[in-house]
Amino acid sequence: MNNIITLDFKKGSIPEYQKRMLSEMEPEFFLPMSFAKTEDGEQISYDLTGYVPLQEIDFEKSVHRLFGFIGETVKGLIVAGEYLIPPESIRLKKSTIFVGKDGDVRMLFAPEEPHWEEDENRLTCEKTINAKLYDLLSEIGESSDSEPLRVYIDSTKRLLKSNCDISKLLRHISKVRRESYFGDDVNML
């Protein structure tokens, strides 16, 4: 089985400083990758060895696991800024978040155009993370038949919609993990 995938990008769509940071620093929250130039642009090759995409994991009976992965994803988005990778440029989908055998979370670095508000002011880091997580949780919730999972997702989406700060979001994720693990009543949210 081939554990390497390759994505093509337009030339110049990934700033040189980002390629350098990703290649030289190898941030642990991204999948291992390498860059190559092509005639038409550039390619990124990713090593998926030992990782499966979030979309292939069944969370119907494990809300605790899902929110553990979501919490690690939030932390990865925060740390991305330290590597000069703005969170608004990271594509966050079930197909771009990967989970390792040991439960470690890695993202596939597949840059996207930053999201801009109507007044063209750049979103803050927290608003960007909230918007991306809201969309990710919507994607996960749409494919779920589990009522408890949908209740936890909906409560988290309400919090994200209120533009909460990151520390409040992480506390909420911890609360969801604790309640779902110990079987507390989901109506408490």
For 107-119, what is each residue's pLDDT tens digit? Answer: 988 877 554 444 4
Report if residue 59 sits inside a domain. yes
The bridge status of strand 51-53 relative to strand 33-37 is unpaired
Helix, strand, or coil here: 70? helix
Contacts of 89 (CB under 8 A, 6+ apart): 111, 112, 113, 114
pLDDT-derived band at 128 (thresholds 50, 70, 90) equals confident
Report if residue 8 sits inside a domain. no
Q: Which contiguous run of DSSP H or E holds residue 149?
A: helix 147-161
Q: Give CA–CA dist 83/78, Å, rounded.
A: 10
Indicate the pTM of the whole model.
0.81
144: closest CA among 94, 81, 79? 94
Q: How far is CA 17 from CA 6, 22, 24, 37, 104, in A?
A: 20, 9, 10, 15, 26
pLDDT at 131: 87
Q: What domain range is 133 assigned to?
A: 50-188
Report if residue 115 sits inside a domain. yes
Least confident of 62-66, 101-105, 113-117: 113-117
Helices (H), 44-146: 63-80, 125-142
Q: How many CB atoms lie within 10 A of CB 73?
A: 24
pLDDT-derived band at 99 (thresholds 50, 70, 90) equals very high
Report if residue 152 sits inside a domain. yes
Q: Residue 101 is encoded by which pair of tokens?
A: 């055998």
User: Is the pLDDT higher at 124 or at 43?
Assistant: 43
pLDDT-derived band at 2 (thresholds 50, 70, 90) equals low
Helix axes 147-161, 166-182, angle to 10 degrees: 170
Is the pLDDT score of 120 beyond 70? Answer: no
134 DSSP assignment = H
Please tell me the total count of domains within the chain.
Answer: 1
Q: Residue 138 is encoded by which pair of tokens?
A: 């919507």
Amino acid at 133: L
Is the pLDDT score of 77 beyond 50? Answer: yes
Give the CATH number for residue 145: 1.10.510
Report if residue 5 sits inside a domain. no
pLDDT at 25: 86
Report if residue 1 sits inside a domain. no
**8 A C-beta contact, residue 88 and residue 123:** yes
pLDDT at 113: 57
pLDDT at 160: 92
